[in-house]
């Protein structure tokens, strides 16, 4: 069993390695990007990655304070989900080695966001 400090060091080492691995990868718009702390440019939409001993998670977080507006954001993502799924050729994301799991998915999420971000700018 690892101590909390050892787990923390391992997580930090992983994210440092992942950041170095992704550094030369440009965004869908051809720009340098901070993949680990991905900035969507919309204060109500964020992309988050997390890893633990059992899983790797890439999530879209909708933080609008108004539940109705949050639902509108969610509905728009559902309407546009095929644009996200197309580059990966999969609808359900499944477990692979952590870095090979996260890299194509964060890149696909970036490409998706590059195409659709303006559809979210006037939602509230």
* Cα angle, residue 22 at apex, residues 94 and 120 outer, rounded to 5°: 70
Predicted confidence at residue 30, as pLDDT, reads 93
Instruction: Tell me the C-alpha to C-alpha distance, in Å, between residue 1 and each of 4, 14, 43, 59, 95.
Output: 10, 18, 39, 28, 23
Contacts of 42 (CB under 8 A, 6+ apart): 117, 120, 121
What is the domain partition of the chain in residue ranges? 4-120
User: Would you state the pLDDT for residue 52?
Assistant: 79
Mean pLDDT, range 51-61, rounded to an integer: 82
Percentage of the chain modeled with pLDDT above 70: 90
pLDDT surpasses 70 at 14: yes
Q: Which one has a higher pLDDT value, 27 or 101?
A: 27
- Return mean pLDDT, the chain: 85
- Tell me the average pLDDT across 12-35: 91
Do the beta carbons of residue 73 and residue 124 sit within 8 Å?
no
Q: In the predicted model, is pLDDT for residue 26 greater than 50? A: yes
The rounded distance, in Å, linking the Cα atoms of 15 and 21 is 10
Please tell me the least confidently modeled range out of 25-29, 54-58, 86-90.
86-90
pLDDT digits (tens, 9 = 90+) for 62-112: 999 999 999 999 899 889 888 877 777 766 655 476 677 788 888 999 999
């Amino acid at each position: 069993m690892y101590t909390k400090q050892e787990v923390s060091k391992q997580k930090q080492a992983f994210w440092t390695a992942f950041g170095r691995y992704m550094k030369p990868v440009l965004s869908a718009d051809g720009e340098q990007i901070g993949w680990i702390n991905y900035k969507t440019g919309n204060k109500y939409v964020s992309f988050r990655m997390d890893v633990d001993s059992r899983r790797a998670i890439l999530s879209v977080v909708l933080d609008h304070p108004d539940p109705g507006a949050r639902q509108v954001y969610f509905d728009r993502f559902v309407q546009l989900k095929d644009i996200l799924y197309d580059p990966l050729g999969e609808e359900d994301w499944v477990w692979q080695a952590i870095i090979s799991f996260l890299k194509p998915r964060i890149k696909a999420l970036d490409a998706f966001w590059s195409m659709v971000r303006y559809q979210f700018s006037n939602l509230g």
